[in-house]
Amino acid sequence: MASLDDLKKRIASVKSTQKITKAMKMVAAAKLRRAQESAERGRPYSQKMNNIILNLSNGISDKENAPKLLSGTGQEKTHLCVVMTSDRGLCGGFNSNIIKKAKSYFAKILDEGKELKIITVGSKGNDQLKRVYGDKIIENISFKESKNANYFDADKVGKMVIEKFEAGEFDVCTIFYNQFKNVITQIPQAQQIVPLNNDGEESNSDESYEFEPDEDEILSNLLPKNISTQIFKAMLENSASEQGSRMSAMDNATRNAGEMVDKLTIEYNRSRQAAITKELIEIISGAESL
Amino acid sequence: MSEEFKIEIVNPDKSYLEREDVSEVVVPAFEGEMGFLKEHISIISFLKPGIIKIISKSGNENYYVEDGIVEFKNNNLSILTSSIFKVDDIGKSKQQELLKQAEEEANKPEISDQSKYLADQKIEILKTLN
C-alpha cells in the first residue's frame, strides 16, 4: 500500500492534469464553433461549383475529347492519395480514423498490383504513415503557421495535384478526410477527385444552358478550380472535426480524471484511518500491559 | 411587373453578397463585358479581371474581381470567385499591393500567353481605379 504522502502527491498530480484537460476542452469548444461556422459558410461555394460542373458535363457533346481531369487518363495504374490529418495531437481517434481508412485503401491498391503515391497534409498523418509507407510518400505538407484553414493553402495543394497530373505522375486521385457530422461523430471519407466521380448524382435541371466560350474551354478552366475547392472543403470539414473530436476526447479525459481523484481520495482516507486505528491499538495495549 | 432579380456572390469561405433587388448587373466575362437584365437566358461563363457593376434601387456598387465563374438561371445570378474587393474599399495601399502582384506575374519569364494576357488586364484595370 502506498504511503499517505505518495497518495497525496498522486491526487495533486491527477487534479492538475484534470485542470489542463478541462482548459483544452474549453478551448476546443470555442474553436469548434468558429470552425463549424466556417465549414457551413463554405458549403454554398463547393455546392454551386459542383452543380455547375454537373450541368456542364451533362451538356458536353464530345465525351471522348473531354478534359482529362473529368474523364481520366483511360487507365488506373497509379493512384495518388492525399491524406489530410491534423498538426496537433490529443484529439481522440481523429487521426487514427483517417489513417485506418487510408491504410485499408492502400492495401487494396497494392494487392491489385497498382502503384501508390501518397501526399500527406498535416504532420500527424505523416508520423503515422512513414513507418509503413515511408517510401511511398512523395510530399509532406503542413500548415502549422496558418491558424485557420484558408483557401490560399488549399489552392497550393490543389495546384500541386494538378501539376503532377499534367506531368502524368498519376491516373486517379483520392483525398482522405473526416467529415464533420456532429461533435461526437466524424465520418472518415475517401473522395475521388480525379477523374471526377459523379455517380449517383443526376442533374436536376433539364434546362439547357448557353455557354460562352464553349463547354470545353469553361470546363478546362473550371476543373482545376474545382480540385482546389474540394480540397478546401475537406480542410474545413477536417478542422471542424478535429476540434469536435478533441472536445469529446478532453471531456472524457476530464471525467476519467475526476473518477480517479475520487478513488484515490477514498484510498487516502482509508489508509489515514487505518493508521490512526493502529496507533490507538498500540496505545491501548501499551496501557493494559502496565 | 418588377424588373428585379437576385444576385449572389460566393467566396470559398463565405457568402460574400446577396441582393434581391438588383435591376442590372454588368460583369467582365471572358469574351467581353456582359450585361444581365431580368429574364436573361440561362448561361454559364467565366470572368476575367475587371469590374462588376451592380445597379439596384439602393444605389450602384462596383466590385473588382480577378477571376470567377458566373451562372445565370431562373433569374438567379450566381458569381463564384476567390478574389473580390469592393471598389470603394480598396485603399491606395491595397491597390498598389495588387498592382505590384500583377506586375510581378506579368514579368515572369516563363509565363504563358493566356496568363500574360490576364495579368496585363489586371494591371490595366487597377490603374484606372484611382
Q: Which residues from chain A sit within 8 angstroms of residue B13, using beta carbons?
A: 38, 41-42, 45, 150-151, 232, 236
Q: Does pLDDT of B107 surpass 90?
A: no
Q: Does pLDDT of A281 surpass 90?
A: yes
- The reply to whether B83 touches chain A by the CB within 8 Å rule is no
- The reply to whether A34 touches chain B by the CB within 8 Å rule is no
Partner-chain residue, chosen from B12, B34, B43, that has the shortest CB–CB distance to A209: B43
Taking residue B40's Cβ as centre, other Cβ atoms within 10 Å add up to 16
Question: Quick check: pTM over 0.80?
Answer: yes
Q: Which of B75, B79, B80 would you mutate first to test chain A, the one with the most A CBs within 10 A?
A: B80
**CB-side exposure of B20: number of CA atoms within 13 Å?**
1
CB within 8 Å of A87: residues ≥ 6 apart? A122, A123, A124, A142, A143, A144
Partner-chain residue, chosen from B13, B30, B41, that has the shortest CB–CB distance to A38: B13
CB contact under 8 A, B13 and A151: yes
CB contact under 8 A, A232 and B45: no
CB contact under 8 A, B45 and A213: yes
CB contact under 8 A, A56 and B42: no
- The reply to whether B69 touches chain A by the CB within 8 Å rule is yes
Flag the least confident range among A67-76, A261-270, A271-280, B85-94. Answer: A67-76
| Res A207: pLDDT | 61
| Res A203: pLDDT | 52
Distance, in Å, from the CA atom of A154 to the CA atom of A265, rounded to the nearest integer, reads 50
- The reply to whether B29 touches chain A by the CB within 8 Å rule is yes
Q: Select from B115, B67, B61 the least CA-distant residue to B88.
A: B61
Q: Does pLDDT of A222 surpass 70?
A: yes
3-state secondary structure (DSSP) of residue B27: strand
- Across residues A205-213, what is the average pLDDT? 70
Q: Which residues from chain B sit within 8 angstroms of residue A41, using beta carbons?
A: 13-15
* CA angle at A82 for the pair A190 and A187, rounded to the nearest 5°: 30
Question: To the nearest whole angstrom, how far is the Cα of B20 from the nearest Cα of chain A?
Answer: 17
Distance, in Å, from the CA atom of A144 to the CA atom of A126, rounded to the nearest integer, reads 13
Distance, in Å, from the CA atom of B31 to the CA atom of B18, rounded to the nearest integer, reads 25
Region of residue B88 (phi > 0: left; psi between -120 and 50: alpha; otherwise: beta):
alpha
3-state secondary structure (DSSP) of residue A214: coil
- Chain B residue with Cα closest to A213: B45
- The reply to whether A239 touches chain B by the CB within 8 Å rule is no
Contact present, B22 and B55 (Cβ < 8 Å): yes
3-state secondary structure (DSSP) of residue B129: coil
- The reply to whether A52 touches chain B by the CB within 8 Å rule is yes
- pLDDT tens column, B80-104: 988 888 888 888 888 888 888 888 8
Q: Which residues from chain A sit within 8 angstroms of residue B15, using beta carbons?
A: 41, 44
SS3 content of chain B, % helix, strand, coil (to 5): 25, 45, 30
CB within 8 Å of B45: residues ≥ 6 apart? A211, A212, A213, A218, B29, B30, B31, B34, B69, B70
DSSP B66: S
Label residue A120 by pLDDT band (50, 70, 90): very high
Q: What ipTM did this prediction achieve?
A: 0.76
- Chain A residue with Cα closest to B33: A212
Considering chain A, what is the average pLDDT of its residues?
87
CATH tag, A32-246: 3.40.1380.10
CB within 8 Å of A231: residues ≥ 6 apart? A82, A84, A154, A157, A158, A161, A175, A193
- The reply to whether B80 touches chain A by the CB within 8 Å rule is yes
Q: Which residues from chain A sit within 8 angstroms of residue B34, using beta carbons?
A: 212
Q: Please give the interface size between A and B, counted as residue pairs whose CB atoms are below 8 Å apart.
A: 73
Domain boundaries, chain A: 4-21+250-284, 32-246
| Res A77: pLDDT | 87
Question: To the nearest whole angstrom, how far is the Cα of A232 from the nearest Cα of chain B?
Answer: 8
Any idea which residue has 469536435 for its cell?
A244
Q: Is B57 exposed, middle or buried (0-12, 13-18, 19+ CB in 10 A)?
A: exposed
Angstrom distances, CA of residue A116 to CA of A80, A113, A120, A124: 6, 9, 13, 20
Q: Select from A218, A198, A220, A200 the least CA-distant residue to A209.
A: A218
Distance, in Å, from the CA atom of A18 to the CA atom of A125, rounded to the nearest integer, reads 27
Q: Which residues from chain A sit within 8 angstroms of residue B11, using beta carbons?
A: 45, 151
Which amino acid is residue B95, in one-letter code? Q
Distance, in Å, from the CA atom of A50 to the CA atom of A201, rounded to the nearest integer, reads 10
Q: Tell me which residues of A are annotated as active site.
A: 91
CB contact under 8 A, A225 and B14: no
Contact present, A84 and A90 (Cβ < 8 Å): no
Q: Does pLDDT of A201 surpass 60?
A: no
